[in-house]
């Protein structure tokens, strides 16, 4: 018989699950791109599902919220240490984690409500989880997909192959499904009325064997695809990591020193004869195309290296209505130092690059500082250099699979991500951010070239395998080959976009409607018959 768990025991199980999720990601104890405990994501939710077993929907909602707060609180701990947010960093952490926990609260309630209507936990759970994750990471409803379970598997490229079909959501689905099956298997040991001896029950492996078989098949399929797909070198790049301290980055007195560092790195990188030199986000600390001194300095560096440069900077444009709009931008210069095109960041960081509902939240202005009033760009662009083309994404944009999928519709060969992770200090955030970027390469089957002000600069192949990377807070540059798959084609995900989470939503809606109409169609119970009840 299943032991009746107290509410405190259920909370403890939720906390254990949250801790296992923490350690499947880079965390406060293990800061690396390849945490050795990443595999824990495949069992992390078992205690959580056991805690939810046979609870009423309201209690399921409370357990879901508690698990969500513990999970996101641990993964996003670094927000509480953001020096840029000053005295509001702790409040920002609490508000964001509370908000994200509401999705898990909705999961706990809906999961238990649907489970009470029919024995479909093993299938409705993963579909519901993915459906809510899709909302959480999509605009206009959500817009923050950090900490989604599938990203923890970035260290295992063979497992990432499924993302070329379903996006990250398919991998998350499999992980939740795996956890749910094993949770039900564990609960089966204590099934009420089961006369099968415990020793024999231990050999009832149908569910676990099926889930393990799916995982093994996915790994073998991915490994074979990676091994049998030839890669073609189309060029080389140099990724600059100036590691400029955030305290002096925007200081006019430090501007010349910043350019001196970038020039020294570019000169050193010239030895590898790169076809493209990539500067990190806002590496040029100025409105570059409008500042004569800054532009002359950048043009001088470009001309000396005699190759293409992508320069992270700021930009401003005056529109037809006479209003000046400000952008976080990236400009490509040709080998002669002539600007060939500019990309304006489209997906801005709330409270970092703009203040939502600024009319009502004017007091938050000091948090984002002078750089917090950017406008979103309008279009994705494709830049061409010798040997290959690429589309740029700036920092935060790369964590959104839908945004990258739209950017790759330009037909570019490679994906370039420029970032400035110096904001986050020596926390796990830069590693978590880089892992999410790596998954985008696997989804689109395009190499990822990432330059950051300070770590993590890296390059991948089209399968998300990290070819080389840098450490935090070191002034250096990284040379990397641009490798394209010879059987290059648009992946199913790049053609159909987020079809899989929409499918999951369809399953959830159909099940809900089916249960609703089934309940309404049930005949009313017969009225009691008056008479001698003693008989």
**Active-site residue list:** 281, 345, 395
Q: Does the N-terminal peptide bond of residue 315 adopt cis geometry, omega within 30 degrees of 0?
A: no
Q: Which DSSP category does 398 fall into?
A: G
Give the span between the Cα atoms of 400 and 380, in whole angstroms: 14
Give the span between the Cα atoms of 455 and 438, in whole angstroms: 14
Instruction: Indicate the helix (H) or strand (E) that contains 239.
Output: strand 231-241
Backbone φ/ψ region at 305: left (φ over 0), alpha (ψ -120 to 50), beta = alpha
- Residue recorded with tokens 């005949």: 523
Backbone φ/ψ region at 324: left (φ over 0), alpha (ψ -120 to 50), beta = beta
Residue 271 CB neighbour total at 10 angstroms: 9
Residues 6 or more apart in contact with residue 35 via CB below 8 angstroms: 23, 24, 25, 26, 27, 155
Give the span between the Cα atoms of 248 and 257, in whole angstroms: 10
Angle at 122 between CA 120 and CA 123, to 5 degrees: 70
CB 434 within 8 A of CB 33: yes
> What secondary structure does DSSP assign to 129-162, as a single string?
HHHHHHHHTSTTT----TT-GGGGGTT-HHHHTT
Give the span between the Cα atoms of 320 and 199, in whole angstroms: 78
Give the pair of three-digit tokens for residue 519: 């309940």
Instruction: Indicate the helix (H) or strand (E) that contains 184.
Output: helix 168-188
Candidates 313, 315, 347, 348; CA nearest to 418 is 313
Beta strand 231-241 with 276-278 is parallel
Q: Which 3 state secondary structure label does DSSP give 469? A: strand
Q: Which 3 state secondary structure label does DSSP give 495? A: helix
Q: Which 3 state secondary structure label does DSSP give 481? A: strand
Q: Which 3 state secondary structure label does DSSP give 291? A: coil
């Amino acid at each position: 018989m299943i032991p009746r768990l107290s509410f405190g025991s259920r909370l403890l199980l939720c906390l254990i699950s949250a801790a296992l999720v923490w350690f499947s990601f880079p965390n406060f104890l293990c800061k690396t791109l390849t945490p050795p405990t990443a595999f824990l994501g495949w069992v992390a939710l078992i205690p959580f599902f056991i805690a939810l077993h046979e609870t009423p929907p309201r209690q399921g909602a409370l357990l879901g919220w508690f698990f969500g707060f513990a999970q996101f609180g641990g993964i996003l701990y670094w927000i509480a240490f953001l020096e840029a947010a000053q005295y509001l960093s702790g409040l920002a952490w609490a508000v964001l984690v509370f908000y994200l926990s509401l999705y898990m609260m909705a999961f706990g309630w809906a999961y238990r409500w649907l489970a009470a209507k029919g024995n479909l936990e093993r299938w409705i759970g993963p579909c519901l989880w993915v459906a809510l994750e899709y909302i959480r990471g999509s605009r206009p409803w959500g817009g923050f997909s950090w900490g989604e379970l599938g990203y923890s598997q970035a260290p295992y490229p063979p497992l990432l192959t499924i993302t070329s079909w379903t996006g990250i959501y398919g991998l998350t689905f499999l992980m939740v499904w795996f956890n749910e099956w094993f949770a039900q298997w564990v609960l089966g040991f204590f099934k009420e009325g089961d006369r099968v001896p415990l020793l024999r029950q231990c050999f009832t492996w149908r569910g676990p064997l099926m889930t393990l078989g799916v995982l093994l098949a996915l790994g073998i399929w991915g490994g074979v695809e990676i091994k049998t797909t030839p890669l073609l070198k189309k060029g080389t790049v140099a990724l600059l990591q100036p590691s400029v301290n955030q305290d002096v980055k925007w200081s006019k007195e430090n501007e010349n020193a910043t350019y001196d560092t970038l020039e020294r790195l570019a000169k050193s990188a010239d030895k590898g004869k790169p076809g493209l030199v990539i500067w990190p986000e806002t590496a040029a600390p100025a409105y570059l195309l409008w500042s004569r001194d800054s532009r002359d300095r950048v043009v001088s560096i470009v001309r000396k290296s005699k190759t293409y440069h992508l320069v992270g900077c700021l930009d401003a444009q005056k529109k037809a209505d006479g209003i000046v709009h400000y952008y976080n931008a990236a400009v490509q210069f040709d080998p002669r130092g002539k600007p060939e095109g500019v990309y304006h960041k489209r997906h801005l960081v709330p409270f970092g690059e703009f203040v939502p509902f600024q009319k009502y939240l004017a007091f938050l202005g000091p948090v984002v500082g002078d750089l917090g009033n950017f406008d979103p760009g309008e279009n994705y662009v494709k830049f061409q250099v010798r040997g290959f083309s690429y589309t740029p994404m700036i920092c935060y944009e790369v964590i959104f699979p839908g945004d990258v999928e739209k950017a790759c519709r330009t037909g570019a060969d490679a994906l370039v991500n420029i970032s400035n992770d110096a904001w986050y200090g020596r926390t796990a955030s830069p590693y978590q951010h880089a892992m999410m970027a790596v998954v985008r390469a696997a989804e689109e089957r395009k190499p990822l070239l990432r330059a950051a002000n300070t770590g993590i600069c890296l390059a991948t192949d089209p399968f998300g395998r990290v070819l080389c990377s840098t450490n935090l807070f070191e002034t250096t540059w990284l040379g990397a080959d641009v490798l394209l798959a010879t059987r290059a084609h648009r992946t199913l995900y790049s053609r159909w976009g987020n079809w899989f989470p929409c499918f999951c939503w369809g399953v959830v809606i159909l099940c809900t409607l089916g249960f609703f109409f089934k309940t309404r169609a049930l005949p009313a119970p017969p009225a009691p018959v008056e008479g001698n009840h003693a008989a």
